[in-house]
Amino acid sequence: MPKLITASQFPQPDAAYVALVEARRGLSEAEAADLDTRLVLILANHIGDADVLNEAIALAKTAGRK
Amino acid sequence: MVSKPSAAPGRKAVYRYGYRRSRDQDARAAVRHPVIVVGAGPVGLTAAIDLALRGVPVVLLDDADRIGEGSRGICWSKRTLEIFDRLGVGERLVAQGVTWKLGKVFLGGEQVYSFDLLPEDGHKMPAFINLQQYAVEKELVERAGEIDGIDLRWKNKVTAVERRNDAVRLTVETPDGAYTLDADWLIAADGARSSIRALLGLDFSGVTFEDKFLIADIRMAADLPTERRFWFDPPFHFGQSALMHRQPSNVWRIDLQLGRDADAQEEQRPENVIARLKRMLGEREFSLEWVSLYRFNCCRLERFVHGRIVFAGDSAHQVSPFGARGANSGVQDAENLSWKLAAVLNGEAGEGLIENYETERAQAADENIAHSTRSTDFIAPRSAAERRLRNAVLHLAPQAEFARRMVNSGRLSVASVYDTPLSTPDEAAFKGSAKLGAPVPDAVMRTRAGENKFLLEQLSGGFELIHVKNGARPDAPEGIKLTTIGEDLHDAEGMFMQRFDATPGATYLLRPDQHLAARWRNFDAAKVSAARARILAP
């Protein structure tokens, strides 16, 4: 039974997306990558569940495949 | 830890011992001994002393005739010191060593994390001491000389091993030529480049880390606190890591990461080493004691027990040094093996108990390798992408507790908790820091004479039953020494009650290695006997 929630949770998904866009606006690719990495760690800890984390990693890897 | 030691300033002999001809060399047929230990390092010496104290005579062979200095163990953990104390050298070593328990981790010039390894008092032994390995070996050699039944033979190099059904035959090369010996049991404690392992052609595989590290011992009169200091990306060593740790007599261990592309020859030239160290130490005066360049391996033998040949210490498993898990785990191997082998040789236990050495110490090795691998992955990321993740943790650490918990500059050695068939599962729940399968916690106790003594000092080294008085003194089953709390020892400070979650009548069975094997809320002779039998016939 998967634990990772993939159904939309934000009441305003577009606003959440824009928050992420604005966070990296004006950043170089390296700076943005640093920011994203810190975000990943912060959010992963907030979730605090290794199963959810592993499912999220698996989803992220699959989605990137061509 | 592996890779070849450096040329300069060289590996000096610190203590030299003499070769002496043994009567066995004049015997017509191979003389047979119950136990032969190969390798007079901390592991082999621990095994020899422990076995001899248990009444098993030991022949201890070493291919050298000296104890050398070198980048070897400096951090001796509490559990190792407790073992050394049982063998009679703990106090001498603590007196010589530098006691420490605090560690600090820096990012750049700023502290991001600190730890205290022994926040609780009432333990005889400190969390750690730092002491040069040769000093430990010297004390152990001296102790071995005080005990009947240890025959230590320097310049005895094993050149052939032949496995027989119930014995091992060795060919041993000496300055007087070769001779043969037979052993009921052979303990291979001959280190990371074990010749016994090579002679048996055993595969020793694992992970090699590409990063090179410069390790130096320097002499410097510095008024710095006694703590372990670890830097990620320090201002004096850009983009790499650095470690600094105090040893006795104003000697400091410095460990500098050089990355994977470092040129081993160039980096070891004294002028280059000194330039690097000056960037770190500024204007302080120092002299180089010893320097070497290393790469680290994490690997192990698939099996530690091969018939009557048992591997212990670095010959069986290797880890990176960030965590002090090499020599400490080796000494703990030796202790685990010694009482079991003594019980087998005394006829108390069957050979299945040696298989249990494999079970318990393979668990410990896997745990050590896992910790050591994770530490090395954190300290020496393998790619730019891994480095980005590591740095993200470090940059978050000052502000976020979760990130501080991820900062890994080495997870320092603590005793393993064995998940083992030797333990009798609990019938009742117990809290406290005592755990089944783990060494029991120490505590300050008051003796009948009214003196304060440590609990571990009161243990005999055999099977031990600790019973909290609750009416009449029970009769301990045969082969078990009984200590009652409230009669033999008093829990004046309440430490025992708290650490063992003790209640009147509570009864604890300890293995000869001080590990907790069983506990009950009340004494029951039949249950105690069954628990002992379970230990001897797993």
Sort out which chain A residues have CB atoms less than 8 A from B233's CB and list them.
Answer: none
How remote is the C-alpha of B35 from its chain's centroid? 21
- For residue B165, give Cα distances in angstroms to B185, B307, B308, B344, B448: 11, 8, 8, 16, 51
A45 CB neighbours in chain B (<8 A) are 400, 402-403
Residues of A in contact with B396 (CB under 8 A): 38, 41-42
Question: Does A53 map to a domain?
Answer: yes
CA distance to B161, B162, B175, B315, B316, per residue, from B309 (Å): 10, 10, 26, 12, 12
Question: Which segments of chain B have a pLDDT < 50?
Answer: 1-10
Does A33 sit within 8 Å of B391, measured CB to CB? Answer: no
- pLDDT on residue B345: 98
What is the interface pTM, i.e. ipTM, of the complex? 0.94
The predicted pLDDT at position A66 comes to 65
pLDDT tens, position by position, B40-88: 999 999 999 999 999 999 999 999 998 876 558 899 999 999 999 999 9
Gap from A46 CA to chain B (nearest CA, Å): 9
**CA-based nearest distance A36→chain B, Å:** 9
Mutate to test the interface with B, among A37, A49, A61 (most CBs of B within 10 A): A37
Backbone angles phi, psi at B442, to 5 degrees: -75, 165
Number of domains chain A contains? 1
Per-position DSSP letters for B347-378, written without gaps between them: TSS-THHHHHHHHHHHHHHHHHHHHHHHHHHH
**Residue A10: φ, ψ to 5°:** -80, 130
Q: From the CA of B403, how many Å to the nearest CA of chain A? A: 8
Short-list B489, B488, B522, CA closest to B503:
B522
CB distance B491 to B413 below 8 Å: no
Q: Where are the alpha helices (DSSP H) in chain A?
A: 13-24, 29-47, 50-64
Neighbours of B97 (CB within 10 A): 22
State the pLDDT at residue B91.
98
Domain that holds residue A46: 27-64
Residue pair A57/A40 in contact (Cβ under 8 Å)? The answer is no
Q: Which residue type is seen at B515?
A: H
On whether residue A56 sits in a domain, the answer given is yes
Mutation pick from B389, B394, B405 vs chain A, by most beta carbons of A within 10 Å, is B389
Closest by Cβ to B402, choosing from A34, A37, A45 = A45
Nearest Cβ partner of B388 from A34, A42, A45?
A: A34
Q: So what's the pLDDT on residue A8? A: 96
CATH class, domain B444-536, is alpha beta
Q: In this structure, is residue A10 part of a structural domain? A: no
Closest residue of B to A32, CA-based? Answer: B388
**Whole-number pLDDT of residue B210:** 87
Contact (CB<8Å) A41/B388: no
Interface residues from chain A to B (CB-CB < 8 Å): 33-34, 37-38, 40-42, 45
Give the pLDDT score at B153.
98
pLDDT band at A65 (very low <50, low <70, confident <90, very high): confident
Q: Which residues of A touch B391 (CB under 8 A)?
A: 34, 37
Residue A49 falls within a domain, yes or no?
A: yes
Q: What is the nearest CA distance from A5 to chain B, expressed in angstroms?
A: 23
d(CA B95, CA B106): 30
Cα–Cα distance for residue pair A31/A35, rounded to 1 Å: 6
Q: State CA B504 to chain mean position distance.
A: 36
**Angstroms from B243 CA to nearest CA on chain A:** 26
Between A and B, how many CB-CB pairs are < 8 A? 25
* Residues of B with Cβ-Cβ distance to A33 under 8 angstroms: 388
What residues does B247 pair with on adjacent strands?
Answer: B251
Give residue B49's identity as a one-letter amino acid code. I
CB B213 within 8 A of CB B258: yes
**What's residue B290's pLDDT?**
87
Any idea what DSSP says for residue B23? G
- Residue A38: list chain B partners with CB under 8 A: 392, 395-396
CATH of domain B13-98+129-204+301-374: 3.50.50.60
B253, B245 in Cβ contact below 8 A? yes
Alpha carbon distances (Å) from B16 to B137, B183, B530: 12, 27, 49
Q: Summarize pLDDT for B207-264 with one digit per residue, the tens.
A: 888 889 999 999 999 888 899 999 999 999 988 999 999 999 899 999 999 998 999 8
Distance CA B50, CA B56 (A): 9
pLDDT of the residue at B109 = 87
Contacts with B389 from chain A: Cβ below 8 Å: 37, 41
Predicted pLDDT at B73: 86
How many whole angstroms separate alpha carbon B136 and alpha carbon B138?
5
Contact A42 B391 (CB under 8 A): no
What residue of A is the nearest CA neighbor of B405? A45
Cα distance between residue B339 and residue B145, in whole Å: 20
HEC string of B489-514 equals EECCCCHHHHHHCCCCCCEEEECCCC
| Strand B13-16 with B110-116, pairing | unpaired
With CA atoms as reference, the chain A residue closest to B391 would be A34
Per-residue pLDDT tens over the stretch A33-57: 999 999 999 999 999 999 999 999 9
**Cβ-based contacts of A40 with chain B (< 8 Å):** 392
Q: Please give, rounded to a whole number of angstroms, the shortest distance from the CA of B381 to a CA of chain A.
A: 15
Single pTM value for the model: 0.93
Which chain B residue has its CA at the smallest distance from A44's CA? B402
Q: State the amino acid at position B3 in one-letter form.
A: S
How far is residue B486's CA from residue B502's CA, in Å, rounded to a whole number? Answer: 12
Nearest chain B residue to A43, by CA = B402
The whole-number pLDDT of residue B3 equals 34
- pLDDT number for residue B118: 79
List the domain boundaries for chain B: 13-98+129-204+301-374, 379-406, 444-536
Q: Chain A residues with CB inside 8 Å of B107's CB?
A: none
Per-residue pLDDT of A22-31, as tens digits, reads 999 999 999 9
Instruction: Identify the pLDDT of residue B529.
Output: 97
